[in-house]
Structure 1
């Protein structure tokens, strides 16, 4: 009966499961109960439109989602699940849900055997008190219905239940959920995934009275290994067990060896360790084994999987620590294997070998990416069933064998980021009519197709980045009408783009033609019929002329490092509310910025650096509430910073260097732009004091205020820059993902990395991926006065400190040695005096030091780093001596030294030595000079 009920659901929407006999009418009592249920929910008009009282709608057995018994007329099935999935789009799924409460009238359906309300939203309400009702119910699906934990207490009254799905509800309050499940002794299929089930340290074992097999899914609940005893009594009956995405630790327990009926086991995304136990290889019924994303280790060698070689169809060991060689001939021993996932492990050795297979492999999916495999690719003839082949991110070399063309079932081909070489011709693709996804990026391949070649395939994704396609634009692309992603960046193309290319597919998501030498002017692209929200990267080419008018629905526009000229007023015509990335840097653009920033509510990156823009920043820049990066470096902008900029509190990167901005540095930068990581106002015309409010920038890592006319003291509060005491991370890249959006959901199509010029070791460097490593304070070339505050020495992770070219006085802080990570220190061209602190010798990473042109005195402290520096680091300090300074003191200085030395040596009161009438020297200075 249960199987018959399941088979009766003829469509995913549950449409019109009606009675076969025209003379059967539903029971009036049950009809009224259904109408009362309808009144308790809010619904899209189309979902329950057939439920009504019109003449043609009186028979509830004809209503959508309702099925009645042909014999008695009683309602036996109610299927009102939300037919949409998240794949159809989040908003569509949400808008199609029934909302409200479950009316107790539902309990009037005493003959109900099948109830599916999944995918609806009952807002945390209670399920009606069953109390003996619905005792014929065998199938109950309430997954993702937002019901309260109390539903489990009602389930205990459904003693005939065979199928129960409460997944994606919050059952965190059901503290005794194992005991409640024991009240349903005939369950054959239990799904409690992603329910926030509370951890039970000593759970009772489940009891099961059915003689049939049972499937259990408890994935996504953060359960620990203490859950295992729950399964002890039913171990031999379990046919399907999923404990994915929990917190299971240790090794795979021994009790699994008793699962003699097991067909599907999934323990992925846990913290399991050790080898795969050999007893799993002796459970000869297992068809699916998924242990992905754990810490499992060991080698994969012949004989490891025992009799599983005959039954296993799906093996997933993705993201573990398996090591050793991959023996491809061994794969052929798995006579039933269809899918093999071994990516992101530590497999090594040579991939190729001699294949003496008795019969062709049945593999349809082979995933070996992100290992350490080397050598050449194998002969693919034996893998004639392959649909998906992923071997990217390894160390493979040599040519791609032409036997690739034999894989007539192939749909996905990924060879990216290896060291493959040689020519790819149409022979490699002669039978690949089903190919849809191609990635050969970042190899040393030459893609050379005959001019008239017409491929058999229609590709959806084309990734040929840094393969050799040029010098001419590849004509075979004219045959491709369905691609969503095209990347032929760095392909050596030095041609104009033909007109036919701009007839782009309507579902385009990303287009990357960057890092070529393409020339010419771009056409007006506003008429493109793009249904999605694509991103476009044409940077690092030689395009010229005015900016093209772009489609309104672009998400990213990267046209950097070309020769575009003129104004950017055409951007206002784009008016793209979807625009996230706009990079026009390194062109010949000029004029003032148009006042239309209010169009771009989603803009996160604005890069106009290295152009010829002038004028003030429009006040509408304050409308960019999503902005994270603004780079206006090296233009001719002028005037004060607009106060509206303080609204942009998500700003992480702000580079206004090398312009003509003036006025005082606004205090609101520190008060409002609290997300700033990088701030450069270098080489402008700012004046006045450095506002102490900048010390509120707790996230700042790089602060460059150099080459202005700032005055006053260095703020004492710099020790409040707490990011300067946090260690830099090489993976901590300053940037943003940029997105494209299809009809379903948006997805990231790239990562925009901020780049900037930073002063380091006396030079300027353009930094990109390593920006996150630096902690820099650069206040050089201003008119700052006063002493260097000791507070600055508390910034323990500071890498660069540049205070040169100011009017600073006093001593170098004694605690300068606290700056253990300091690599570059420039205090030159000030008026500092006294000795160089001995603690400076503790700066073990210091490779650049400039203390020149001050009034420092005494002997240079001894330290490996200091004595290895060039003497020019100390030039202009007449009273310094010792290595690396090798020159002798001037003659007059030596005479005075000797004269004073005698006075000291002959005087018991040498410490009271009076000032010489012809000299302003003091005794302390003498001691400093007498080295």
Structure 2
């Protein structure tokens, strides 16, 4: 039992005992029908009770004795009514609805209206209407006029509105309980100060309106002993004062928003009176104050679920009366041995329950067998404990519950004789550690009720002998070890299990027949158990109370019956990865997770359209042979978070009713035969994180509203469809996008240049999503300890692959096999976290972006089958993670940059570029310049650079001058005539000059 529940139960029992003390012998709870009384009830009061009954709804007839022939006149013998033996006046009415341990009603609660006829009962001192259902009615004001009331209990009765201030008129009231009416509220506290006789006040789960702060401070009566204000919305401070000499002993302020300083200041006035303090789940941060250690009579302290850090105070050595201490789910970080040493100094003889789970405690658990002689519960789960459990390891013989889950404890499983606990240990949780070796003989654990060993490194064979003495065992969890069960077919276990958790324990190939003896379990997990058998018929009727059943990852076959009748109360059904066949079974109305993927179910899923509202949150029917159209009735499944119908033979259009799934996070419809345009109804699914419609026959343009209405998308896969149109700039509203796949469609136009908005792709080491999705998380769902790990089919390193567990690390853009044109936007270079870019099979032109070396995480780059030109950027040689490269079938030229990366790829990565050369292609001619990267030794040649600039300038100057002159000649006649005359005259001048020069040369060299 958790500390909070335990504290609530204890206080409830104490209050019940207080009720009896207050009413004395006039009210005996053990005599609901009562013995003969010396006085009959008064006629006036009998009529008032009859009138009161008329206003109530009593479906089960619990008030049938009221006015019956047997006791028609004597109301003192009616059920729930008590009278005074001396006067005959009605003094008590107890009509509370009995409930079980989970506060579920054992009969139909009373309803209707509370009649003011009760005002006729002038001597009524006890009124209990708790655990009934008054369906949002207000607490009647007239109750404030029942002046003789000493006990008023309206808890769990579904009242609403404001708590009436008239209750302040009940000055004789000793006990007031209006707790757990969450639709009630309190907007005034002054009336509480008038309850001068009040001993017990419980307003838990009745919110205090924020208008009460910060001015309101109310004096509570000095007579108050117990104050319960859990989940009231208390903000930072406590709005009550009590005289420090008052008798206050129990306070519960759990699940509020109180701060440590305000709590410490308030509590220090009661250091000598407080015996029980509940402060769990507030905003307490920092070191634990020494104040608590100075409360010498403190018996119970609950500080769980806060942000307390450091170590426990040294003053805790003084707590000699401490019985229960919960420090769970904080940030404490001291060695566990030191913490236990401080507590044991004075609380060693009194401490019974110690909860330390969910902190950062370290070191090894010491031998505490002699330090805590009364300890019954010790929970140190989910800390940082290490070491092994040595032979000297010892625990007190009184210990009944030990929790060490989620640490780093290693070594062999401890022998029971090491503990010396043969007859007492009932609960043992060593899950998720590093315990090795075979499972020892369990027969000494004869008192064991719950045994959790999952997630260790245990190995070996388990036989019937291991369990021969575990007659009281109710929960067995050996999951995720390397254990094999060697059990005979006719074994009759000595126990009746309620939870059977044997995932990954080999027990096949036959279906375990011994399960037939276990008819009362609510949870069964025999997944990955090596079973390759047909489910026997008896299995489907084995346990009518089953809530969780997991047969996944076996090779079980056979037909599955109608689960809506066989497993009507199930919340999790997981039959994934088996060989079940036949029609898909109907979905039980209460089921939350329904996973039947990777089987051979066929036919339609028209059964989904029933009149029943389902509470399904995760529905996975993927990888079957289902066909037909998707039924248009998702208004019955509005709780869906995950919908996966991928890899079937569904056809037609997606139904409009998908728009009712406003909480949907994950939608998988890939690899079917869906047609039509992008479904407009999805515009309402604003919570979507992943949408996968790949591998269908969708057509038309992708609507612009996707990029605004569905702006939370992380994964978008529309691959292998017939979508057309441009990629709009509004696409860049998807700030959280990690996978964007539009490959194998008919998209056209230019690639938008706004990719710098893709925040998640810019960050190198951050992934927005998670593999497992719960509320507000991405890529999966967790329901009743069942993980839904999402998946996506993408082209990765030139192959179509499905990715699951590493999905959150994928950061991919794939626009391949479309009709895109233009340059590759330079903005791609800012996507430093991108690991795969595929723009192949388009009509892209221009050059490879020079800043590609900034994409440091890139592992796969495919730009093949475009019309890219120019040289390969030198920076490409410095992408250290690049393992897949395809630049083939472009118009690239020049020498492949030198470096360790690019020369390691096959020549096919560069094929179809006639101007490329260099390793791994044939060597370049000497006149082809070498392209060197940043890391190569390289010195600039100033003369070469100047010469290059000179020639460029000369060519540009000549071209401009020449073409300017030619155009002018063409447009202006006078210039053209003058130019032709100039050419003619020049020709004559050149001819005459050459002739004269030639005559002179002949004369010069003629022999004399």
Q: Give the TM-score, by structure 2 length.
A: 0.78
Greater Cα shift, 373-382 or 810-819: 810-819
Return the match for 2:193 from 156, 162, 169: 156
CA distance change for structure 1 residues 272 and 551 in 2, over 3 Å: closer, same or farther?
closer
In the alignment, is the contact (CA less than 8 A) between 1:728 and 1:772 conserved in 2?
A: no
- Displacement of 1:649 after TM fit? 4.8
1:216 aligns with 2:254: no
In the alignment, is the contact (CA less than 8 A) between 2:206 and 2:232 conserved in 1?
A: yes
**Corresponding residue for 1:658?**
695
Q: 5 Å matches for 1:413-812?
A: 413-519=451-557, 521-525=558-562, 528-543=565-580, 545-550=581-586, 552-553=588-589, 555-562=592-599, 564=600, 566-568=602-604, 571=607, 577-578=613-614, 579-587=616-624, 589=625, 591-593=627-629, 595=631, 598=634, 601-602=637-638, 603-611=640-648, 613=649, 615-617=651-653, 619=655, 622=658, 625=661, 627-638=664-675, 640-641=677-678, 643-644=680-681, 646=683, 648-667=685-704, 669-670=706-707, 672-691=709-728, 694-721=731-758, 723-725=760-762, 732-733=769-770, 748-812=784-848
In the alignment, is the contact (CA less than 8 A) between 2:278 and 2:303 conserved in 1?
A: yes
C-alpha separation in 2, matches of 1:736 and 1:278 = 42
Can you list the C-alpha shifts for 1:183-220, whole angstroms capped at 9, x where unaligned?
4112211112222223239x99742445x671111222
C-alpha separation in 2, matches of 1:11 and 1:651 = 59
**Corresponding residue for 1:23?**
39
Structure 1 stretches lacking a partner, 5+ long: 739-745, 895-900, 918-931
**Corresponding residue for 2:146?**
109
Can you list the C-alpha shifts for 1:872-925, whole angstroms capped at 9, x where unaligned?
55554455577x66743247969xxxxxx99996996553237999xxxxxxxx
1:407 aligns with 2:449: no
Aligned to 1:120, the other structure's residue is in SS state: coil
Return the match for 2:170 from 105, 114, 134: 134
In the alignment, is the contact (CA less than 8 A) between 2:652 and 2:673 conserved in 1?
A: no
- Displacement of 1:280 after TM fit? 1.6
C-alpha separation in 1, matches of 2:760 and 2:949 = 55
Q: 5 Å matches for 1:50-129?
A: 67=82, 69-71=84-86, 87-88=102-103, 96-97=133-134, 99-129=136-166
Can you list the C-alpha shifts for 1:251-309, whole angstroms capped at 9, x where unaligned?
22222232111111111111111222343233221111111111112223374421322
C-alpha separation in 2, matches of 1:35 and 1:341 = 53
| Two-structure CA RMSD over aligned residues (Å) | 4.3
C-alpha separation in 1, matches of 2:189 and 2:162 = 13
CA distance change for structure 1 residues 73 and 144 in 2, over 3 Å: closer, same or farther?
farther
1:257 aligns with 2:272: no
Q: 5 Å matches for 1:129-528?
A: 129=166, 133-145=169-181, 146-171=183-208, 172-175=210-213, 179-181=217-219, 183-200=220-237, 206-210=242-246, 214-226=249-261, 227-301=263-337, 303-304=341-342, 305-327=344-366, 329-331=367-369, 333-354=371-392, 361-381=397-417, 382-383=420-421, 384-402=423-441, 404-519=442-557, 521-525=558-562, 528=565
C-alpha separation in 2, matches of 1:480 and 1:771 = 39
Can you list the C-alpha shifts for 1:428-478, whole angstroms capped at 9, x where unaligned?
211222211111001011111222210121112111111110122211111
**Corresponding residue for 1:898?**
none
CA distance change for structure 1 residues 60 and 542 in 2, over 3 Å: closer, same or farther?
closer
CA distance change for structure 1 residues 12 and 846 in 2, over 3 Å: closer, same or farther?
farther
Return the match for 2:923 from 888, 892, 905: 888
- Displacement of 1:331 after TM fit? 3.7
- Displacement of 1:353 after TM fit? 1.5
In the alignment, is the contact (CA less than 8 A) between 1:80 and 1:117 conserved in 2?
A: no
C-alpha separation in 2, matches of 1:303 and 1:841 = 61
In the alignment, is the contact (CA less than 8 A) between 1:42 and 1:100 conserved in 2?
A: no
- Displacement of 1:509 after TM fit? 1.9
Aligned to 1:154, the other structure's residue is in SS state: helix
Structure 2 stretches lacking a partner, 5+ long: 1-16, 110-129, 776-781, 930-942, 960-1008
CA distance change for structure 1 residues 783 and 189 in 2, over 3 Å: closer, same or farther?
same
Return the match for 1:826 from 847, 851, 862: 862
**How many pairs are equivalent?**
888
Greater Cα shift, 857-866 or 433-442: 857-866
CA distance change for structure 1 residues 421 and 907 in 2, over 3 Å: closer, same or farther?
closer
- Displacement of 1:64 after TM fit? 6.8
C-alpha separation in 1, matches of 2:363 and 2:898 = 51
Structure of higher CA gyration radius: 2
C-alpha separation in 2, matches of 1:584 and 1:719 = 38
**Corresponding residue for 2:116?**
none
- Displacement of 1:61 after TM fit? 6.5
CA distance change for structure 1 residues 401 and 318 in 2, over 3 Å: closer, same or farther?
same
CA distance change for structure 1 residues 207 and 235 in 2, over 3 Å: closer, same or farther?
same
Aligned to 1:334, the other structure's residue is in SS state: coil
In the alignment, is the contact (CA less than 8 A) between 2:275 and 2:299 conserved in 1?
A: yes
CA distance change for structure 1 residues 625 and 100 in 2, over 3 Å: closer, same or farther?
closer
In the alignment, is the contact (CA less than 8 A) between 1:14 and 1:80 conserved in 2?
A: no
C-alpha separation in 2, matches of 1:419 and 1:849 = 41
CA distance change for structure 1 residues 451 and 906 in 2, over 3 Å: closer, same or farther?
closer
C-alpha separation in 1, matches of 2:499 and 2:368 = 32
CA distance change for structure 1 residues 206 and 336 in 2, over 3 Å: closer, same or farther?
same
Greater Cα shift, 653-662 or 225-234: 653-662
Q: 5 Å matches for 1:842-881?
A: 845-857=881-893, 873-879=909-915
C-alpha separation in 2, matches of 1:814 and 1:185 = 80
C-alpha separation in 1, matches of 2:174 and 2:43 = 21
- Displacement of 1:676 after TM fit? 3.6
Greater Cα shift, 693-702 or 154-163: 693-702
In the alignment, is the contact (CA less than 8 A) between 2:134 and 2:159 conserved in 1?
A: no
CA distance change for structure 1 residues 872 and 549 in 2, over 3 Å: closer, same or farther?
closer
In the alignment, is the contact (CA less than 8 A) between 1:434 and 1:457 conserved in 2?
A: yes
C-alpha separation in 2, matches of 1:688 and 1:10 = 85
Aligned to 2:795, the other structure's residue is in SS state: strand
C-alpha separation in 2, matches of 1:265 and 1:193 = 14
C-alpha separation in 2, matches of 1:295 and 1:437 = 30
C-alpha separation in 1, matches of 2:490 and 2:759 = 63
Q: Give the TM-score, by structure 1 length.
A: 0.84
CA distance change for structure 1 residues 150 and 84 in 2, over 3 Å: closer, same or farther?
farther
Aligned to 1:710, the other structure's residue is in SS state: strand
C-alpha separation in 1, matches of 2:578 and 2:948 = 79
In the alignment, is the contact (CA less than 8 A) between 1:78 and 1:115 conserved in 2?
A: no
C-alpha separation in 1, matches of 2:574 and 2:299 = 48
**Corresponding residue for 1:929?**
none
In the alignment, is the contact (CA less than 8 A) between 2:20 and 2:27 conserved in 1?
A: no
